[in-house]
Amino acid sequence: MLAFEDLGIRFGGNQAVQGVTGRIEPGVITAIIGPNGAGKSTFFNLLSGFYKPTSGRIRFGEQDITGWPTHRVVAQGVARTFQTTTIYKELSVLENALLGHRVRTRAGLWDALLGSGRERRESRASLEAAHAALARVGLEGQAHLPAGSLTQEAQKRVSIALALATGPKVLLLDEPAAGINPEETVNLTRTIRELAASGLTVVLIEHKMSMVMTLADHIMVLHHGQKIAEGSPAEVSRDPAVIEAYLGGHAAPHIRDELRADLVQDAAALQGRGAPHE
Ligand SMILES: Nc1ncnc2c1ncn2[C@@H]1O[C@H](COP(=O)(O)OP(=O)(O)OP(=O)(O)O)[C@@H](O)[C@H]1O
């Protein structure tokens, strides 16, 4: 569905992503993991058109979307959220979701000013799409509250709704569980699983390994901008190159300790469950 070949980007002397080849399979939850600075967000920026690659190609279905600007990539069906929540805090939750849908509609400024038929039709469609997006992330009850008044976790859901309102086929989530507590992480994991079950192709960057291991069907590991491994959670968590990347000298000590604990816990959980992902 979404395929990339020899994908790379260089910032001055820094090759942030290099020679990454692979594909995102439809209907599958793929996690992109790797130590800090591995190039994960940059990789998302390439897939979503925020950065133009300095090498390689990106294809979405039959279409070569390499170098396309973000709005065209979104209109084609690839939407994303950001590591830091980028919502309009002073607007209502519903208005945020409406903005998402507007990306896909064609009514321009003149239509809006003249109240044209197209504008009225598209306004109705936008409203329906926005409400539907809010329902998918469990925020219908908070539609009219200012987005900034919600909890951190609910604000994350608003940013997901904003992306969903664009009608994506592929949803890229950049650290959806950053800054939220364990219980909220479990709830958000459930929502993401429901989105995937409804037919959406989900790709997520996440540092919380317990979430990655329970959610992902497939994991791709980046290190120093390169893909060093991919496979099922069970395969990846026992891959020597992955263990070295995480537990070697590159990760900050506190991250290393957290990951070591997570990997041990995940390996035990997977054994206990008979490693269902294998
Ligand atoms: N716009 C930019 N200009 C220059 N360097 C950049 C830019 N964007 C990213 N980089 C560099 O690319 C490298 C990869 O960064 P990136 O943020 O993609 O890593 P990451 O894996 O997402 O890290 P983290 O897990 O800490 O978010 C880093 O060396 C970073 O400094």
Q: For a substitution probing ligand 1, which of 42, 54, 173 has the most ligand atoms within 8 Å of its CB?
A: 42
Give the model's pLDDT for residue 278: 36
Determine the Cα–Cα distance for residues 78 and 234; give it in Å rounded to an integer: 28
Does the structure show a pLDDT above 90 at 224?
yes
Does the structure show a pLDDT above 80 at 102?
no
Task: Calculate how far, in angstroms, residue 271's C-alpha sits from the geometric centre of ligand 1.
Answer: 34
Give the model's pLDDT for residue 40: 96
3-state secondary structure of 4: strand
Does the structure show a pLDDT above 70 at 277?
no
3-state secondary structure of 41: helix
Please answer whether residues 181 and 6 qualify as being in contact, where contact means their C-beta atoms are separated by less than 8 angstroms: no
Give the model's pLDDT for residue 54: 97
Q: For a substitution probing ligand 1, which of 9, 15, 41 has the most ligand atoms within 8 Å of its CB?
A: 41
Give the model's pLDDT for residue 123: 72
Q: For a substitution probing ligand 1, which of 9, 11, 209 has the most ligand atoms within 8 Å of its CB?
A: 11
| Residue having the nearest C-alpha atom to atom 11 of ligand 1 | 16
Please answer whether residues 148 and 137 qualify as being in contact, where contact means their C-beta atoms are separated by less than 8 angstroms: no
Q: What is the pLDDT of residues 169-222, one digit of tens each?
A: 999 999 999 999 999 999 999 999 999 999 999 999 999 988 999 999 999 999
| Residue having the nearest C-alpha atom to atom 12 of ligand 1 | 16
Q: What is the pLDDT of residues 6-18, one digit of tens each?
A: 999 999 999 999 9
Q: What is the pLDDT of residues 134-169, one digit of tens each?
A: 999 999 999 999 999 999 999 999 999 999 998 999
The number of angstroms, rounded, from the C-alpha of 120 to the middle of its chain's C-alpha atoms is 32
Which pair of structure tokens corresponds to residue 147? 């987005």
Q: pLDDT band at 87, cuts 50/70/90?
A: confident
Among 11, 13, 95, 12, smallest CA distance to 45 is for: 11
Q: How far apart are the first and last CA of the chain?
A: 22
Task: Calculate how far, in angstroms, residue 17's C-alpha sits from the geometric centre of ligand 1.
Answer: 9
The number of angstroms, rounded, from the C-alpha of 251 to the middle of its chain's C-alpha atoms is 22
Place of tokens 């909890």: 151
Among 64, 127, 66, smallest CA distance to 98 is for: 127
Give the model's pLDDT for residue 86: 78
Q: pLDDT band at 84, cuts 50/70/90?
A: confident
Does the structure show a pLDDT above 90 at 33?
yes
Determine the Cα–Cα distance for residues 33 and 181; give it in Å rounded to an integer: 20
Query: DSSP string of 154-193?
Result: HHHHHHHHHHHTT--SEEEEESTTTT--HHHHHHHHHHHH
| Residue having the nearest C-alpha atom to atom 4 of ligand 1 | 11
Q: Which atom of ligand 1 is nearest to the CA of 11?
A: 4
Q: Which atom of ligand 1 is nearest to the CA of 34?
A: 21
Does the structure show a pLDDT above 70 at 262?
no
Ligand 1 interacting residues, C-beta cut-off 6 A? 11, 14, 16, 34, 36-42
If you average pLDDT over every residue of the chain, what do you get? 86
Phi, psi of 58, rounded to the nearest 5 degrees: -125, 130
Does the structure show a pLDDT above 90 at 82?
no
Which pair of structure tokens corresponds to residue 124? 């109705």
